[in-house]
Structure 1
């Protein structure tokens, strides 16, 4: 098993915290990314989606996971289990200094996440977002959004687990 942390950074203006609407552990927030099979190296053609609210039985029948997918080339099963409680919102000071913050940890078996597509209610497909917050009477914006997967190691167990 390999643990991957999804980390991101952005320059934010007029915002204090950038995160999914329901927080980093929002069960309805869906993550989209492509996967590479650890057995044969095949990369998925389409993005795979995974969310905390989706649970499926493990192929061996012992427990559940958030995703079970078969490699189209070698037919090996791979699984992804999301690890909540590890994400934090991106603050304005982190964004201005280019620091990354962790959104979610993925326990991957048989697959490696390699790229992502993030969807927001605001359109970030062009990489930037700008608007005016009438309630606060100030401009808001997001630019230079970057995301990356980073391999992390788990130390400890249960509620005391730490991912570095």
Structure 2
């Protein structure tokens, strides 16, 4: 089972002009910022450097589920999180950072796993066998 600490790192595209950010944007569930000229809040408020339009992304709690070993073996994509996107669209996801938690079928927990290389491996002492994650892929729908 693979979980994450409710933070995404992604390139985002402006819904107005189509410009894609040069740098990755960070969106964290626990961080809400006020939306200018509004009473609302969002996890990300960002202005397009090209056209100047502002957009927001709000993470929707409890809208996804854990990725399991069965999902991986079946080659399934699973919804980890849903977003309310207004004027911004995530286009490319980064697995970077040490935000991941790996729980093996034996219940061994590996905290703060960095999947930025797309692969990870360690040894599960409980099961006396190697444990790994590889061939990571992500998509936004």
Q: Could you say which TM-score interval applies, normalised by the shorter chain? A: 0.7 to 0.9
Shift of 1:45: 0.6
Number of aligned positions between the proteins: 127
Task: State the alpha-carbon separation in 2 of the partners of residues 85 and 30 from structure 1.
Answer: 13
Q: What SS does the corresponding residue of 1:93 show, helix, strand or coil?
A: helix
What are the superposed Cα offsets for residues 73-109 of structure 1, whole Å, 9 maximum, x if unpaired? Answer: 1110101111011111111111101011111111110
Shift of 1:125: 2.8
Match of 1:146 among 129, 137, 140: 137
Task: State the alpha-carbon separation in 1 of the partners of residues 31 and 117 from structure 2.
Answer: 29
Mapped pair 1:127 → 2:118:
yes
State TM-score, norm by structure 1: 0.73
Q: Which runs of 4+ in 1 moved over 4 A?
A: none
Mapped pair 1:18 → 2:35:
no
Mapped pair 1:71 → 2:62:
no
Q: Which has the higher contact order (CA 8 A, sep 6+)?
A: 1
Task: State the alpha-carbon separation in 2 of the partners of residues 82 and 54 from structure 1.
Answer: 10
What are the superposed Cα offsets for residues 132-164 of structure 1, whole Å, 9 maximum, x if unpaired? Answer: 0224322100111111001xxxxxxxxxxxxxx
Mapped pair 1:96 → 2:70:
no
Alignment of 1:14-93 (within 5 A): 17-20=1-4, 26=5, 29-93=6-70
> What stretches of structure 1 of length at least 5 have no aligned partner?
1-16, 21-25, 151-164
Q: What SS does the corresponding residue of 2:72 show, helix, strand or coil?
A: helix
My pick for the range that moved more, 56-65 or 79-88, is 56-65
Match of 1:114 among 91, 99, 105: 91
Q: What SS does the corresponding residue of 2:135 show, helix, strand or coil?
A: strand
Task: Provide the residue aligned with 1:8 in structure 2.
Answer: none
Q: What CA RMSD, in Å, does the superposition of the two structures yield over aligned residues?
A: 1.3
Task: Provide the residue aligned with 2:106 in structure 1.
Answer: none
